[in-house]
Amino acid sequence: MTTIDAAKAWRDQDPDAETRAELDALIPRAEKGDAQALADLGDRFDSRLAFGTAGLRGELGAGPNRMNRVLVAQAAAGFADFLKGREDAPSIVIGYDGRINSDVFARDTAEIMAGAGVRAVLLPRALPTPVLAFAVRHLDVSAGVMVTASHNPPRDNGYKVYLGGADQGSQIVAPVDGEIHRAILAVADRTTVDALPRSTDYALADEAVVEEYVQRTAALVPRGSDAPARAVVPFVYTAMHGVGWEVAERVFAAAGLGEATVVPEQIAPDGAFPTVAFPNPEEPGAMDLSYATANRAGAQLIIANDPDADRLAVAVPDASAPEGWRRLSGNEVGALLGWRIAERLHRAGARAKLAASIVSSPALAAVADSYGLSYSDTLTGFKWVSRVGGLAYGYEEALGYLVDPEKVRDKDGISAAVEFLALVGELAAEGRTIADHQADFDERFGAFASAQVSLRVTDLSRIGAIMSALRAAPPTAIGGIEVTQVDDFIDGFGVFPAGDILRFWMHGGARVIVRPSGTEPKVKVYIDASLTSGTAAERRRAAEEQVAALEEGMRALVA
């Protein structure tokens, strides 16, 4: 079948007028030999979105290499076949965020699941990803689907898949992702989506699911006479045009954390994301409105969730910063939350495990060692962190934190916000700040500095070329610091399965890790250094100097 024939067949089964119109405009031009139209069709039809790090994720548009109603229907039908092959009476809960077509994709999934004989439950409205992840376990269903592209660019959407039962509500991992992908391809090969059975005999989840999430999350904050003193700290909250605020507001109130000053331009769900180029708190400029709001309000802290509220960003006052605020890195927040939870475990005499992905700072391992707790490194992606046995806390440097594994087996930006707000309130009651607390961390565990280089590409072949070049001729020094060892994960490394990851160990113990992003067209570089000698200030300064030199060296290598 030619690309033009494939496009016609796709158009003829497409229930969406907008994506049909895209093909109706392209096909006649391609038939006349228009090179641009042929290239556009080729990009849409010569490959297909496959289940990977986060299920499906891609740009909205017509064709198998885009997110659209045909692809989602095929995915739902293939996933239904997979579930029916595993269980006699499978069930699923489906959630969605505020992105363009998220509600449509969720209803399509519910109808196709119900039509296939899978008991389907649809969440009552657009809600955060952590609520869906919670619902998988709370409702004791076989699986969950969350329609979201998290913090991806505005024109993206996605399809994140969780499994219940023995998987305890975690995201899918290999080999299951491959099995689901093959089931989806089988559906695409045997039928058109307009011939798939559909049913409206699915349930809407009761509001009690959301209320239970709210109450259990608020319960993370200790209350009563034995609880530490805690001040109510004035803070700003932004939902980044996502779905976090409704649930977060209820949680903050139930936990006694005070009332946030919101960023009004970003508080309501809006799939166009009008105030940000990328709705990711890590991207330059994304939090500028938060800084301005906090300055006007006289706030002492900024809390930001990404659009589906599974990530948390935190900013603190800093007179040396241009805006008067400094966003803490994911590693800084991750280490401080890990210290808080390790101390809680110590007081309770509990034995548990801490975990972080290999691209995250070694700081959490130092915390675990100090408290006599076990620790695990995992591959990148929260699907791996969440599956660590006996886990009490896990994080990944990309603003993802799992503070309550008994409730949610995925990163949860609302639960993490609750823990951080409680920490700041306890420090304020003692007349201390996060900066004071960070200095105490440096003194006790060592100073850990980190940086990240992200190279966004438009030509995906550049990613492979960069990784191949680093493998073919590994650097002997980076930023003037000697490379002492290179670990290549391409065929597996130690306990880790195969992955496109390179790790460079530096003289003095610093490290640099390079890998392609699993969800965006980027090459990502992670740089970490630490010191335990000297005063806390001396440690911090020396570690940051090492990181700065390595960052400059890596930018030159991958530019």
Please identify every residue annotated as catalytic: 150
Task: Give CA–CA dist 114/77, Å, rounded.
Answer: 10
Q: Are 235 and 302 in contact (CB under 8 A)?
A: yes
Q: Are 135 and 212 in contact (CB under 8 A)?
A: no
Closest CA to 341 of 303, 376, 368, 313: 368
Count of C-beta atoms within a 10 Å radius of residue 232:
13
Which token pair is 334? 């991750």
Count of C-beta atoms within a 10 Å radius of residue 320:
6
Task: Give CA–CA dist 256/230, Å, rounded.
Answer: 10
Strand segments (E) across 273-430: 301-305, 312-317, 325-327, 353-357, 374-378, 391-396, 400-402
Residue 188 burial (C-beta neighbours within 10 Å; 0-12, 13-18, 19+): buried
Helix (H, G, I), strand (E, B) or coil at 105: helix
CA atoms lying within 13 Å on the CB side of residue 369:
8
Q: Are 435 and 158 in contact (CB under 8 A)?
A: no
Question: 175: cis peptide before it, omega within 30°?
Answer: yes
Q: Are 96 and 124 in contact (CB under 8 A)?
A: no
User: Torsions phi, psi of 216, nearest 5?
Assistant: -70, -30
**What residues form DSSP beta bridges with 478?**
481
Q: Are 170 and 409 in contact (CB under 8 A)?
A: yes
Task: Give CA–CA dist 295/361, Å, rounded.
Answer: 31
